[in-house]
Structure 1
């Protein structure tokens, strides 16, 4: 009886851990989606900047004001932003892989605990 309760308690704890991991994975996917969209937008801006002549006027929106910016500076800023976003996406991918490995490990542990519970319950039924 005590062994069964202990295993059930362990199962509950592992299930809670699994739920937390699944929430973390979902959050990771949301953040990754946001960065992927930003990366696409910035790559589009870079293509547009590459089409401009060197003497073209470039403006940057800062709050409610458009501020004139040097084309080379705008180009460098967009490239830095792309580098940063790409690095964040790599970091998120690494974190996601780690979380998914932990999730699979938890699922296996939960399955083993469920099998132990069934075995303990079956043993009780025979006694």
Structure 2
């Protein structure tokens, strides 16, 4: 008769472990979502800068804030920097979206396993 009790104890331990993993995955998911939102904000800011640069004349003076100092910068160089920054941010957004999708799959898998274990433990 001790075998079923041992199995139940092991299933309860597995359930607790899986619950902790699920909770940790939810925290990771929240971090990935926050990072994605931050990247989206940076993307929008840089798009605004890009749009403003498009309105400037080619001989317009552009200054870059470096520490406490404003340094003059060539319009072509400034535009290129913003374009590269936008490209980088878009790449980071794709990476974040992949992490989010992977985490969602992991969460769903763990959720299903938790439900199955819960039903086993409850004897359903």
TM over 0.5: yes
C-alpha distance in 1 between matches for 2:61 and 2:49: 14
Instruction: Tell me whether 1:38 sits opposite 2:42 in the alignment.
Output: yes
Aligned to 1:114: 118
| Secondary structure of the structure 2 residue equivalent to 1:53 | coil
Q: Deviations over 1:60-93 (max 9, x none)?
A: 0011110000000000000000000000000000
Aligned to 2:78: 74
Aligned to 1:125: none
| Cα RMSD after superposing both structures | 0.8
Aligned to 1:17: 21
Instruction: Tell me whether 1:49 sits opposite 2:34 in the alignment.
Output: no
| Secondary structure of the structure 2 residue equivalent to 1:43 | helix
Unaligned runs of at least 5 residues, structure 1: 123-127
Runs of 4+ residues deviating >4 angstroms: none
C-alpha distance in 2 between matches for 1:36 and 1:72: 25
Q: Deviations over 1:66-121 (max 9, x none)?
A: 000000000000000000000000000011100000000000000000000011xx
C-alpha distance in 1 between matches for 2:105 and 2:50: 36
Unaligned runs of at least 5 residues, structure 2: none
| Secondary structure of the structure 1 residue equivalent to 2:70 | strand
C-alpha distance in 2 between matches for 1:53 and 1:89: 31
| Secondary structure of the structure 2 residue equivalent to 1:54 | coil
TM-score (norm 2): 0.95
